[in-house]
Amino acid sequence: MQIPDTPEAAKLSPEQRELISNAKSKRDVGGVDYIFPVPIYVNYIENYQEIQDELLTGVSHCDFGMHPNWGHTHFLSDVTFDQHFIKDNRCNKFTEELDWHVRKYAKDAGIIGQFSEDKFDYDIKDSWVALFKKHNYAHIHSHGEADISGVYYIQTPPKTTQNVGKIFFQDDRMSQERSVEIPADQGVILLFPGYLKHGVQTNISDVERLSLSFNLKIKKK
């Protein structure tokens, strides 16, 4: 097809101009575009070894149990979700590091664009530790009321170990379910939308997998 000499056509990118030029008809120009990508943040806590003592001290005080309605899936530091691991154990070092990552995620994902950067703020609504022993897993679920959900890996089996309880995200908006796996690695933090469905694969390692989960609610200062 010939590209018209109009102001609108002048704004076309080289890729768009090539597509139109090679098209035999107007129908060949149309196609699929992904307009609602899902922002998933994966990064390392830079000084995670300094944070370990703070978190593991808190873990040592936990009375782990299994949620009565979830079956024998995995252990939780609080099966009632009435406690708040981060606040109850005064995890100040972790909270300080978390703030840097949350603000980077919010900026990169365009969330801060809803506010001016100095007006963006959030509350950590709840937090708990999940313990995955051998053969433990987590069923598909979401944290629907949270604006941002996250997980930090306190302890994981060695990288050389296969099937150590990877987290996987599932998109079931279409009839064919699609999932993406992300390995569990000590010192890694993940942030993602609370509505996104996810689960944890079975840990077949003898090494226990410890992760800190939390939910954030965005607010304006």
- Whether residue 192 is contained in a domain is answered as yes
What is the domain extent for residue 205?
A: 41-220
Whether 187 and 79 map to the same domain: the answer is yes
Q: What whole-number distance in Å separates Cα of residue 42 and Cα of residue 181?
A: 12
- Given a contact cutoff of 8 angstroms between Cβ atoms, the answer to whether 105 and 189 are in contact is no
Whether 196 and 133 map to the same domain: the answer is yes
Mean model confidence pLDDT for the chain: 86
Whether 52 and 83 map to the same domain: the answer is yes
Whether 54 and 20 map to the same domain: the answer is no
The DSSP secondary structure of 21-51, one letter per residue, reads HH-SSGGGT------S----EEEE-TTHHHH
Query: Where in the chain does DSSP place strands (E)?
Result: 41-44, 75-76, 120-132, 138-141, 148-155, 167-171, 178-182, 188-193, 197-200, 209-220
Q: How far is C-alpha 127 from the geometric centre of its chain's CA atoms?
A: 14
Whether 1 and 72 map to the same domain: the answer is no
- Whether residue 23 is contained in a domain is answered as yes
- Whether residue 86 is contained in a domain is answered as yes
- Whether residue 130 is contained in a domain is answered as yes
Q: What whole-number distance in Å separates Cα of residue 93 and Cα of residue 64?
A: 23
- Given a contact cutoff of 8 angstroms between Cβ atoms, the answer to whether 202 and 135 are in contact is yes
Q: What is the pLDDT of residues 73-120, one digit of tens each?
A: 999 988 888 889 999 999 999 999 999 999 999 999 988 877 777 889
Whether 139 and 110 map to the same domain: the answer is yes
- Whether residue 185 is contained in a domain is answered as yes
Whether 16 and 53 map to the same domain: the answer is no
Read off the pTM.
0.82
- Whether residue 117 is contained in a domain is answered as yes
Whether 19 and 106 map to the same domain: the answer is no
Q: Predicted confidence band at 161 (pLDDT cuts at 50, 70, 90)?
A: low
- Whether residue 36 is contained in a domain is answered as no
Name the domain count of the chain: 2
Cα angle: 194, vertex 191, 88; to 5 degrees: 85
- Whether residue 165 is contained in a domain is answered as yes
- Given a contact cutoff of 8 angstroms between Cβ atoms, the answer to whether 128 and 100 are in contact is no
Whether 160 and 108 map to the same domain: the answer is yes
**pLDDT of amino acid 187:** 93
Whether 10 and 50 map to the same domain: the answer is no
Q: What is the pLDDT of residues 116-159, one digit of tens each?
A: 778 899 999 999 999 999 999 999 999 988 999 999 999 998 77
**pLDDT of amino acid 148:** 97
* CATH of residue 130: 2.60.120.620
Whether 101 and 3 map to the same domain: the answer is no
Query: By three-state DSSP, how is residue 95 classified?
Result: helix
**What single-letter amino acid sits at 50?**
E
